[in-house]
Structure 1
Amino acid sequence: MSAEQIDSWKVTLPCTRAEAEAIDAGEFALDAVLMTTEVVEDDKERWRLDAYMENEPDAAMLAALRALAPSAGAIAPVIEPLTAEDWVKMSQEGLEPIREGQFVVHTSAHPVDAPEGGRAFLIDAGRAFGTGHHATTSGCLRMLDAMAEQAFSSVIDVGTGTGLLAFAAAHLWSEARIVATDIDPSAIEVTQANAVANAIAGIELIVADGALSDAITARAPYDLVIANILAGPLVSMAPELAAIADVRATIVLAGLLETQREQVVAAFAGCGCTLQDVDRRGDWTILRLQAGASRYVPSTPPDPKGRDGWALDI
């Protein structure tokens, strides 16, 4: 392979489930995309860490990755140069269609027809999180499908990633105003491209950090708020998410581990929200809450500087 052909690099190390969970739930100042995978089902010791980066990994990068998987010990990391074709092929391999209620989510490599009365979404793996293959996203799809008979007129998907959950909402509630936001401009670009690929129109796309943007608050209140991000940001963002929710609005939260459930529920309880339903998927948990009988007004204005970064990168 000539140097001109190399598009990016991949580093692979074995890890344990505990290490994978810490990686998935953490924020790391690494110039790399981190992914963890269960190698042997129900084996806590057989997991894998893959790190993707634009430049050839140097000693500092390899040391940082080793620190994330100390169980690997003296095992040498596998370092692979990748071409653009390698990346596309690899990103689609093994991503079989996901079926949740009336939805099926597939990649270009595994096309399928929509179920009768349902909807198929083409979501290829790429720059943004949310292909439907992670338990948080698939669990949100199931949660939305279970609410199909309810009526919603104004929906916001905070941290939309690929746009998948906003697309599902648009299918279920075709007359509703749908807003999809993300802190990452590239995620909004991906959502726009996915909307075109899936013939979905009318979703308002906003680049915003959390829910404090004027473009978001101007469209409030929302009677359905979806936030599939991370537990820490969910806790710190609880006041601003509750503040844009309408009276008795439904709030769907994901991106949290079961061990983090109480902390997240308590944060939203402090904003007048009550827990209505829980969908636990392995170590991950999806929550459905209901906003209070009156619009929540924070006692002090939410401070975005007090939050952690909130993009879910799994």
Structure 2
Amino acid sequence: MSAEIDSWKVSLPCTRAEAEAIDAAMIEIDAVLMTTETVEDDVEHWRLDAYLEAEPDAAMLAALKALVPSAAGAEPVVEALTAQDWVTLSQEGLEPIREGRFVVHTSAHPIEAPAGGRAFLIDAGRAFGTGHHATTSGCLAMLDGLAGKRFGNIIDVGTGTGLLAFAGAHLWPDAAIMATDIDPAAIDVTRENAVANGIAGVELIVADGALSDAITARAPYDLVIANILAGPLVSMAPELAAIAGPNATIVLAGLLETQRAAVVTAFEACGCTLEAVDRRGDWTILRLAAGATRYVPVTPPDPKGRDGWALDI
């Protein structure tokens, strides 16, 4: 009797540059996407693996190929997987990452926290933010560098897996922390991850943007984290600045270096000042300070037309 097919895997060759850019598009594809270096220190030899719960059709294969233009002439390798946990399979290549006092690992690669640090178990799955993308790991490093400051009211907008909110809870255990996401599935994942990591007290909100009643009722925040995408960061700059308190710290990510100027300009128009930049390959993490007086938009920000802000990456 043949084993029951439980899930599917699609593999395509890609380059390192394509691999680093793939995560920003994950929200548009119903699959867990993983990239792996196939030849050490060779930027041209990487591989994209997509794990799916259903057999990929022509549209799915075309969508995956569109993520890696260098594979235009390659035939996707499609494999039927037997009754195994497809998420676990997707995690086998995810080695633990270390950023400052933080370690992030999956169930397949458990690891102890460093002395005085914190290990987080974040499995790949329905939400973005395992810590392995440069934007998320860069945010962890940025937060780690703020450990000497005091924050009492923190919000993580676009939380995805909850990782950055959890890091905030570790660094500032007495702070009130809210984690929000446009995707209810991401909030479910964050809730599950909070239990798995023994995190309590983080308020979880499903919200499109930063102006829902639940969010504004808790404002102003002295630390605002938004790891989404450049387009939504630009359009949301007025509302993110509006929920930030005077001189609050704002950490932004999900933007390419080529998009930095547009994002900085949008926040400077709301009274913010750029304080630090962490560039990681093509990706950039920003730290800004809100103005000395609380920003009030001239007209209420219009949430319509946002180009699909992504999960926590």
Q: Is the pair's TM-score, using the shorter chain for normalization, greater than 0.5?
A: yes
**Which AA in structure 2 matches 1:208?**
A
Matched ranges for 1:70-219 at <5 A: 70-83=69-82, 85-219=84-218
Give the deviation of 1:294 after TM superposition. Answer: 1.0
* Secondary structure at 1:7 match in 2: strand
When residues 84 and 185 of structure 1 are mapped into structure 2, their CA distance, relative to the original with a 3 A threshold, is: farther
Deviation (angstroms), 1:9: 2.0
1:24 and 1:313 in contact (8 A); partners too = no
Q: In the aligned structure 2, how far is the partner of 1:207 from the partner of 1:59?
A: 33
Match of 2:60 in 1: 61
Q: Percent identity?
A: 81
Contact 2:158 2:312 (8 Å CA) reproduced: no
Counterpart CA distance in 1 for 2:63 and 2:86 is: 23
Q: Is the Cα contact below 8 Å between 2:24 and 2:310 reproduced in 1?
A: no
Instruction: Summarize deviations over 1:53-102 as a string: whole Å, max 9, x none.
Output: 33212223323333443432432110012345241432321222222111
Cα distance in 2 between the residues matched to 1:27 and 1:162? 14
Alpha carbons of structure 1 residues 188 and 27: separation in structure 2 relative to 1, 3 Å: closer
User: How many residue pairs end up in the alignment?
Assistant: 313
Q: Secondary structure at the match of 2:287?
A: strand
Query: Cα 1:313–1:78, aligned 2, differ >3 Å: closer, same or farther?
Result: farther
TM-score relative to the length of structure 1: 0.91
Offset of residue 256 of structure 1: 1.2
Q: Retained in 1: the 8 A contact 2:51–2:86? A: no
Structure 2 match to 1:259? 258
Name the structure 1 match of 2:290: 291
Q: 1:278 touches 1:287 (CA, 8 Å); kept in 2? A: yes
Residue deviations 1:263-306, cap 9 Å, x none? 11111111111100111112211110000111111111111112
The runs of 5 or more residues in structure 2 that have no matched partner are: none
Which sits farther off after the overlay, 198-207 or 105-114?
105-114
Report the AA paired with residue 171 of structure 1. Answer: H
- Tell me the CA shift for residue 51 of structure 1: 2.9
Q: Tell me the distance in 1 between the aligned counterparts of 2:99 and 2:61.
A: 38
Computed over aligned residues only, the root mean square deviation of the Cα atoms, in angstroms, reads 2.2
Residues 1:302 and 1:149: Cα distance change in structure 2 (over 3 Å): same
- Could you list the per-position Cα deviations for residues 5-64 of structure 1 after superposition, in whole angstroms to 9, with x for gaps in the alignment? 323322111123454455444588544454444444553422323333332122233233
What's 1:49 paired with? 48
SS in 1 for 2:218: coil
Instruction: Please give the alpha-carbon distance, in whole angstroms, between the structure 2 residues aligned to 1:203 and 1:300.
Output: 31
Cα distance change, pair 80–108 in 1 and its aligned pair in 2 (3 A):
same
Question: Structure 1 residues 83 and 259 mapped into 2: Cα distance closer, same or farther (>3 Å)?
Answer: farther
Q: Residue 10 of structure 2 corresponds to which residue in structure 1?
A: 11
Alpha-carbon separation, structure 2, partners of 1:186 and 1:27: 14
| CA-to-aligned-CA distance 1:166-185 (integer Å, 9 cap, x gap) | 11111111111000011111
CA contact (8 A) 2:159 2:311 kept: no
- Which amino acid in the other structure matches residue 168 of structure 1? A
Distance 2:81 2:253 in 1: 32
Distance change (3 Å), C-alpha of 1:170 and 1:68: closer
Q: Which digits, 9 at most, give the CA deviation of each residue in 1:185-204, with x for residues without a partner?
A: 11111111111111111110
**1:217-248 residue CA offsets vs partner (Å, 9 max, x unmatched):** 11111000001111111111111111100000
